[in-house]
Structure formats: structure tokens, C-alpha cells
Amino acid sequence: MKALFLLLTLIFAPYARDGVSLNGEWSAIVDQYDKGMNKKLFTDAVPSGKTDFVEFSYEGGLKLQVPGDWNHQDPGLWWYEGTIWYARHFQASSRPGPSRILYFAGVSHRCEVFLNGVLVMEHEGAFTPFQADVTSILKDGDNFLAVRVNNNRRKEAIPAMSFDWWNYGGITRDVMLLEVPQVHVKEAFLRLKKGTTDTLLADITLAEPLEGVAVTVSIPELKLEKSFFTDASGKVSGEIRVKRLKLWSPQAPKLYDVTITALADKVTERIGFRDIGVDGTSILVNGNPVFLKCISFHEEIPMERRRACTAEDARMLVDAAVELGCNAIRLAHYPQNEFIVRYAEEKGLLIWEEIPLWQGIDFSNEETYRKAETYLYEMIARDRNRCAIGFWSISNETRPAPDRDAFLSRLLAYGRSLDSSRLFASAFDVAYYIPEADEFRMNDGFAGQLDVVGINKYMGWYAPWPKSAAELRWNVFTDKPLIISEFGCEAKAGVFGNGDTASSWSEDYQASLYRDNLRMFENIPNLAGVSPWVLYDFLSPYRQHPVNQAFFNRKGVLSDKGEKKKAWYVMNDYYSKR
């Protein structure tokens, strides 16, 4: 069965649209042997006649909250990797006129969506949204929505067979049924024109290819209103001159209400404007050099062992980054939910956002490449109007090889064709100390194509110190801004002493490793920012030490309970002085 309405498109401003939330309690069936298609779990079967019966039934069974991973909702599902069917009824009106768009903000990792027994879409990729126009399938009154969700790891997938975070499954983000005029703003990209401080660029596409339709952009706070007329494909592209525009920056994260009107459609989004670029080895925001005081975190609430999925969760994570003294965050290792991105933008944090192209990717596989393009498209389409995003990162810890180089070069060109207003980056773990040269070097041709190079370097943990930190020199892409995108080590909160012994898992060892690394960073001439790994201890099946880890990667500067480790204070002090 092929999906009927699969569209590689994402509606502009879904959260600002009319519609109903389909969050809440759903019924679920654990389908370990994947029998659900056969058993027609996309219908809400009831026995017909005296001799019929139903085995696989949603009636009286498991209930799961949406949004939310399934793992933390039932002890039996903590380790589950496989298929679970989700289903619910909802009421709708099918009055003629508007289009109905069924929007999923994120399902881990892949799913098929059935409305009233009809397959309306398939999607793969845990961390980006997808949608289908279901106008012709929606019924007046009761509707039955079923989703087959699968979180198996796969060789050709992104990420692939293993990754250092918990393999949460489920409908982990919001589900909405949007109601929009048939001719509506399908896509819009508003941004500051490069090299200017008073000119906006607008690219807007309507859902129908209608020519000559007036599309109006207004920003009431600036008393600005400008109309354009669509071309034969229903698109407008134009420039808007603005007086007294205040630019967004980490110090002053100014956002405006921007309204776009086209025929019966009118939608308002919060949008900010800023320029980001590179000058030699500096990163410039609105022409001013910015040193990234960054931190990474996973989309996880470690105290409750679950995925973060609400606005409140977003505040918890982002506020912790702000308290540490950050002006930037790295959303590791995947696009996190919109609450996180939007709240970080309001707080003035620059964002490094990446697709989960994390180690172990099958670069020789064309199917995998297609998945990477889809991921990149969906990340950029969702977030291109978020001015806080300064960096699109396309990979983490890949090794130079002909198939990898070709894959990433092609992906980078594709990304640049979608957005030329931001910096493209990746994180690498192939910078090494070369004893003969007595310096760190990196031999990776692909990295040279990027605007910003991130280096993950675990000196004192995965790599022993060859000499003292103060003596170590760096010679890595010295013509570009270099970010130390990861460094750190594990420490168990509350364990002290043995500050010179890694296997002590002590806060003292972690703090002294931080001090040494910060000392070494002074010798990186092109250093444009640092991002310790990581904000909170996080769950990962990699982390097996029964006493010290118990499935937590303990590299957090905060423990899984939110306790500040000594390294937190080292970092906070460093950031307060930069």
C-alpha cells in the first residue's frame, strides 16, 4: 500500500493555525511480531455476526499519552524496540470549504498513518514533522485515526544501528488537525537580506498555483505593509524595505509579529531578523564577532527518564543553559521540538541544529542519501524562519572516505540550495595530536567545504594527554572559525577526590579535566566557541557500568537529578569572563 497524499512540504506556522489538538490519551496495541497490517489494526474492528470475534482489539487495552515516548509509560516498554499501534477516535466537521491538514510534529522513528481505514501518509525520521491533506477522507462526526509506529534501528536509516542516546519510541510530539482555507500560505521564508540592515527578503508560496493573487506582509509594530502578486506557480519573491528595524541578537533577542495575508488566509508568526556570517576565523552576528558560549543537550527530561515534549520541558532545558552562562546551544543530535527552538530564540540563544547523521551511516546507499535529504529539508523547512538558528549541521563524527565525501558534499550543496542565509557546519572527531609535528592536525577534505568546523575532542578521557595542556598547539583549519563542539568526561555527582584518576568517576577529575581543556583552548588560534558535552547526564544503552553509570552517560555538568557538579562552576566562571 502506498500513501495517497505524501507531500514533501510543511505548512507555514502550524502552531499559529486554527485547528484541534489530537494530543491526549490514545489506545495502543503492542505488535511485537508485526501482525497488525494483517489483522487490520487500521480499523476499529468489532465482531460481526454470531461466529466472528476480534483478538487484536483496542478495547480495554493499553493507553498511551500523546505526546510522549512509550518507554516511560509502561515498565514493560522501557527496552521495547518494535511496532506499537496507536489509535483514537475524534469528532470532526466535514463542512465543505476549508482544507484539513493532519500534522504530526514527530514520531519515532517511522510510521504509517491511517484515517478511517485509508493510508494517508508514511514517514521516516523521528525528529521532524510531516503532514497530509486529509480533506477528502475526513468524515462528519466520528473519525478513526490509527498510526503504526516502529522504532527499530536499521542499517540504512538515520541514525543507523547504534547511537549514544536512548532509543525512545512513540508519538513523541504534538498531533494536530489544522483547518485552513483551501488557498493558504503553504511556505514562507522571511529573512534579512545579506549585507543589509533594512531590507527583508520574502519567498512565499500558496497551496494552489494561482496567478495574480495579492500576498501581503505586514509588521504592525513597524507600520509596515507590502503586497506582492503571485506568479503562475502561486509564488512571490520580493524585497521589503524597513525603517527602524531592530535586529535580533543574543544581547537583544527582538522578535516581531509578522502577518501574511492571501485571500481568506491570514496567519501571524513571531519572526526576528539578523545577519550571520563569517569573517576569517570569526563568526559575526549583525557584523559583530560572537564567541559561542555553547552547551549541548538531548531532548530528554532525565529526572523523569523520558523525552522532553512540552513547553514547560523546553523551559527547564533552555533555562539551565542560560543559567550556565551560555549564549548558544547545540541541539544534539537532532532537531528538537519547536518549543525548545522557540523558547531558546526568545532567550537570545544562538542555535546549532543538526540532523541525526551520527557515526555508522551507510554512505554507499542511495536510499540513505535520500533519507538524509528529506531530513535536511524537513529541518530547514520547519525552522528557517527562526532567526536564532545560525548553523545547520549536517553530520556528527564521520570519517573521511570516498563514499562519505561524495555523500556529504552532495548533501551540503542541497542544503545550501535551500538556505543561503546561514552557516553550514559539521562536527568531527578526526583532529589528532601528531607527535612528529608537535601539534593537532586534521586531514579531512570535506570539512574544508564548510563555513564552520566543529571538533569533538575528549582530551583526558578518550585521548590521553601527550604533554601538558598549556604546551599543546593546534593547527586545524586555521583559515576558518573552529568550534570545540564537544569535550568532557564522566563523573558521578557526589563522588569526590582522586582528581587525577579518570576511573574515580569523580567530580574532581571532571573539574580538573575541564580546567586543562580550557587551558589548551587558549592555544587554538581560530577558536570561535566551545560547547562542553553535555548539560545533563542522559540515558544511553552504551553506558553499562552498573555502579557509576546505570545506563546514564555521566558527562553532564548537571546530574540526572539536576545537581551541579564541580565542572559546572568551572564552565560558569569561564563563560562569565568571556
By the criterion CB under 6 A, which residues form the site for ligand GCB? Answer: 164, 333, 396-397, 429, 456, 486, 533, 553, 555
DSSP E strand stretches across 193-234: 199-206, 214-219, 224-229
Smallest distance from the beta carbon of 103 to ligand GCB, in angstroms? Answer: 29
Give 281 or 296: the residue with its C-beta nearer to ligand GCB.
296
Q: Please answer whether residues 506 and 495 qualify as being in contact, where contact means their C-beta atoms are separated by less than 8 angstroms.
A: yes
Query: Which one-letter amino acid corresponds to residue 172?
Result: T
Give 173 or 333: the residue with its C-beta nearer to ligand GCB.
333
Question: DSSP for 388-418?
Answer: TEEEEEEEES----HHHHHHHHHHHHHHHHH
Q: Which residue has the cell 568551572?
A: 570
Smallest distance from the beta carbon of 204 to ligand GCB, in angstroms? Answer: 37
110-115 vs 141-150, strand pairing mode:
antiparallel
Q: Please answer whether residues 111 and 184 qualify as being in contact, where contact means their C-beta atoms are separated by less than 8 angstroms.
A: no
Query: Which one-letter amino acid corresponds to residue 122?
Result: E
Smallest distance from the beta carbon of 165 to ligand GCB, in angstroms? Answer: 7
CB count, 10 Å around CB of 55? 7
Give 31 or 490: the residue with its C-beta nearer to ligand GCB.
490
Smallest distance from the beta carbon of 545 to ligand GCB, in angstroms? Answer: 13
Cell of 180: 485552513
Q: 179 has which bridge partners? A: 100
Give 172 or 395: the residue with its C-beta nearer to ligand GCB.
395
Give 218 or 426: the residue with its C-beta nearer to ligand GCB.
426
Q: Calculate the CA dihedral of residues 301, 304, 308, 310 and round it to 10 degrees.
A: -120
Cell of 103: 500534522
Q: Is 263 exposed, middle or buried (0-12, 13-18, 19+ CB in 10 A)?
A: middle
User: How far is 62 from 77, CA to CA, in rounded Å?
Assistant: 11
Q: Collapsing DSSP states into helix, strand and coil, what is residue 372?
A: helix
Task: Quickly count helices (H) and strands (E) in the chain.
Answer: 6, 34
Give 230 or 531: the residue with its C-beta nearer to ligand GCB.
531
CB count, 10 Å around CB of 21? 12
- Nearest partner of 539 among 294, 307, 296, judged by Cα: 307
Smallest distance from the beta carbon of 497 to ligand GCB, in angstroms? Answer: 23
Give 129 or 356: the residue with its C-beta nearer to ligand GCB.
356
Smallest distance from the beta carbon of 538 to ligand GCB, in angstroms? Answer: 8
Give 110 or 555: the residue with its C-beta nearer to ligand GCB.
555
Smallest distance from the beta carbon of 502 to ligand GCB, in angstroms? Answer: 13
C-alpha to C-alpha distances, 284 to 176, 250, 278, nearest whole angstrom: 38, 12, 6
User: How far is 510 from 505, CA to CA, in rounded Å?
Assistant: 8
Smallest distance from the beta carbon of 404 to ligand GCB, in angstroms? Answer: 16
Smallest distance from the beta carbon of 533 to ligand GCB, in angstroms? Answer: 6
The residue of the chain with the least Cβ separation from ligand GCB equals 164
Smallest distance from the beta carbon of 463 to ligand GCB, in angstroms? Answer: 11
CB count, 10 Å around CB of 145? 22
CB count, 10 Å around CB of 175? 25
Give 414 or 458: the residue with its C-beta nearer to ligand GCB.
458
Give 58 or 552: the residue with its C-beta nearer to ligand GCB.
552
User: How far is 249 from 424, CA to CA, in rounded Å?
Assistant: 19
Smallest distance from the beta carbon of 356 to ligand GCB, in angstroms? Answer: 10
Using alpha carbons only, give the angle 172, 176, 181 rounded to the nearest 5 degrees: 150
Sheet holding 199-206, edge to edge: 185-192, 199-206, 235-241
Smallest distance from the beta carbon of 572 to ligand GCB, in angstroms? Answer: 21
Q: Please answer whether residues 152 and 100 qualify as being in contact, where contact means their C-beta atoms are separated by less than 8 angstroms.
A: no
- Nearest partner of 180 among 385, 11, 21, judged by Cα: 11
Smallest distance from the beta carbon of 400 to ligand GCB, in angstroms? Answer: 16
Smallest distance from the beta carbon of 456 to ligand GCB, in angstroms? Answer: 4
User: How far is 281 from 527, CA to CA, in rounded Å?
Assistant: 8
Give 343 or 358: the residue with its C-beta nearer to ligand GCB.
358
Give 192 or 482: the residue with its C-beta nearer to ligand GCB.
482
Query: Which one-letter amino acid corresponds to residue 395?
Result: S
Give 255 or 476: the residue with its C-beta nearer to ligand GCB.
476
Give 219 or 442: the residue with its C-beta nearer to ligand GCB.
442
Q: Write phi, then psi, for 329 (nearest 5 degrees).
A: -135, 150
DSSP letter for 311, please: H
Q: Which helix (H) or strand (E) holds 438?
A: none
